[in-house]
Amino acid sequence: MNRIEMLYGTRQQPNRSRHLAFLIAAMFVLTFGSDDCARSQNSAALNSGSEYSASKEPLPTKILTVIPAGTQVEVESSKARWNRLLLIATPKLDSGEIESINASIRNAATTCSLTLMATVIARPPDAAQPSAKPQYELVEVGVGYGVATNRGTMIVSSDTVAQQTGELGFFARRMLSHNEQQLRSVREVARTKDAVVFDAPSVFSLHGTHRKCLTRHLVALDRSTGQGWLYCWLLLPVSDDTAESHRIVDHPIRATRWGTQETRSIHVDANEFNFLGVPSELAMALVDLPPGTDIPWAEETTKLAGRRRLTASQLQRLAERLTESR
């Protein structure tokens, strides 16, 4: 009988505090990952190239906007603030030491879906060119947690979920509350009218080992159609505040169409539980980036993709190169 079976199997009825300890570890991954992964780690990584010279000042950074509770997820309307669905990711514990985990834990882990949305507006054409088509603009990108309701998927918060969806259950409520706190570690790196870059701390399974990473996202808008793509890749954060770039993990960039809904596979590592059965932050890990098309690394994207700060021209160049390579 393994360690998880001892705590969560049918031979012993676990108490609520032990269940909660397991949930706290799961939260680090199911929201994006741990919020203290700015430490240096050793791994095979690409050189992200600090020699790329910036011609202008870097764009400002900020915490990524949290989508307000009550927002309808699957509504595309010019009247709605959040009118583009980028990604819905529903976690699933489906590999590793999961067989003996109590069903209430597995159910709670899949109740809330990580949701990325955007605000896109159409700029009317110049009056001097009445036949011209409108140009679209990417105003903002936001993140939240969605729950299926009788009115479709809706963004919820721990304060409002009871009124919005009814009773979630003890474990799901605690997970949602903690995940909301973790969203404060998701940081917007740069933003222009047609692209946004943000970093999310994550725990990833790399070559069979759970590692703390940053998942970098680039949201790219096609200004002629109002639609776009989400590009994701992995970084290893550096602790040196003077370093210009994080290290790039040698894993292809993933291009995903806006509106994708995925089941986010989670791997459980029993070796990350101590002798009391309490899991570490590395107990659970993502096993893949969102579904889509792989893009191999090229010289220019490698120089730009790991930079901690980006200028407008660098962001434009990076988005263009990714679009050309897709």
In the chain, what are the domain boundaries?
3-325
Provide the whole-model pTM.
Answer: 0.83
Q: Is a pLDDT exceeding 70 seen at residue 75?
A: no
Highest mean pLDDT among 31-40, 129-138, 237-246: 237-246
197: its two tokens: 């870059």
**Euclidean distance between CA atoms 32 and 263, whole angstroms:** 14
Whether the CB-CB separation of 225 and 136 falls below 8 Å is answered with yes
Work out the average pLDDT over 294-302: 96
pLDDT band at 167 (very low <50, low <70, confident <90, very high): low
Q: What is the pLDDT of residue 93?
A: 84
Q: Is a pLDDT exceeding 60 seen at residue 313?
A: yes
- Average pLDDT score, the chain: 81
CB under 8 Å to 21, separation ≥6 — which residues? Answer: 277, 278, 279
Residue bearing the bigger pLDDT, 269 or 277: 269
193: its two tokens: 């009218």
Rg value, the chain, Cα: 21
User: In terms of C-beta density within 10 A (0-12 exposed, 13-18 middle, 19 or more buried), how is residue 317 classed?
Assistant: middle
Three-class SS of residue 313? Answer: helix
Question: Per mean pLDDT, which range of 43-52, 57-66, 231-240 is the poorest?
Answer: 43-52
Residue bearing the bigger pLDDT, 275 or 259: 259
**Euclidean distance between CA atoms 225 and 170, whole angstroms:** 44
CB under 8 Å to 82, separation ≥6 — which residues? Answer: 67, 71, 117, 118, 119, 142
Q: What is the pLDDT of residue 8?
A: 31
Work out the average pLDDT over 11-29: 47
**Euclidean distance between CA atoms 21 and 25, whole angstroms:** 7
Residue bearing the bigger pLDDT, 183 or 177: 183
Q: What is the pLDDT of residue 318?
A: 98
**Euclidean distance between CA atoms 278 and 273, whole angstroms:** 5
pLDDT band at 31 (very low <50, low <70, confident <90, very high): low
